[in-house]
Structure 1
Amino acid sequence: MSDHLHFFATLREDLEAARNRDPAARSLAEVALGYPGVHAVWVYRLAHRMWHRPGLRLPARLISQLARAVTGIEIHPGARLGRRLFIDHGMGVVVGETAEVGDDVVLFHGSTLGGKSMRHGKRHPTLGDDVVVGAGAKVLGPVWIGAGAQIGANAVVIHDVPPGAIAVGVPATIRLRSAAAPFDVEIDDPAIYI
């Protein structure tokens, strides 16, 4: 598949991911026209490609800032985002330059993948596949969030979170759930711990 066709296939995946994850979405057209989270991810994908081409870093930053002004979502073009990222509602979401996000991740409004220092180098989080970051949650510093972990709404995470765990509170504490135990919304939904 050519590079251009792969790029457009990725954009289509982003569109379908939003449609599949949001029970309020009624059609792909509605998502394409009215979902700022999808628009921000699409602009990021273009800006990220530019970021890695000689002489295009400034235009990449300017495009990302335009997207921020339009959508309320700030994604640095140097960040590395996986496939099928879904940003629900999106207003106030921030993704820093050295953040790395796996596939099939969900970020809710007001969440931050930010730094704790102003030093150069890796200073933002790494999220595995299938991670959910709740509304208003802050994941700060070069921490690692394991695959399938959930970050509760308004949690402040400054330490690694193991795969499949739930992090809630300020500062976040970790709840481990047995892999054999079925998901129980009354016990395992991180939103109930805020």
Structure 2
Amino acid sequence: MQLWWWLRRARPWQRRQRLPPGAFTTTGVLDLLGYGQPIAGSTALPRATREEVMVLDRQFRFVDGVPRYAFTVNGAAYPLVPSIEVSEGDVLKVTIVNRTAEPHPMHPHGHHVQVLSRNGAAPTGSPLLLDTVDVQPGEVWEVLLTADNPGIWMDHCHNLDHASEGMMMLLQYEGVSSPFVHGGHAHNRPE
């Protein structure tokens, strides 16, 4: 009995004070689009050579041969989402539209994007380079992606249950191929 009593008293995390209700509702939210200072002088962005749109939605589709309420990109669930095909050196202006009631942290493997705007408002702070764009419900983001890393890259929602239910696609460079097929006899799954 004495050992149990000593162990209980020796745990400092059990003696923490509780914060009053609502303590976290008064704390401001960090808005990365306003964080830091703009760069003085010329900040010319590369000119987009192409434009792509990614509409994120929730619709009935077949996923793994089963009809379900899937997470979709441009109306399709992976692997039926068409790839974005690029040539090395392309600069893509990508518009990401979230038509669902859930956030979608979109993550293009092998690349970073520069944020041009969120809901039509350009960043007011430092230039914002991200590897994941957290697109909240109803938001529209515009980003630049420079195709400077040849390969076949996945672009998916980082809520992995959303990705496994169809919200992913490929960024594929011209002249790059692979014998790898998702699914098939190996039953491999990309998530």
Q: TM-score range by the shorter chain?
A: under 0.3
Question: Which is higher, the Rg of structure 1 or of structure 2?
Answer: 2
Structure 1 or 2: larger strand share? 2
Q: Provide the TM-score with structure 1 as the length reference.
A: 0.21
Structure 1 or 2: larger helix share? 1
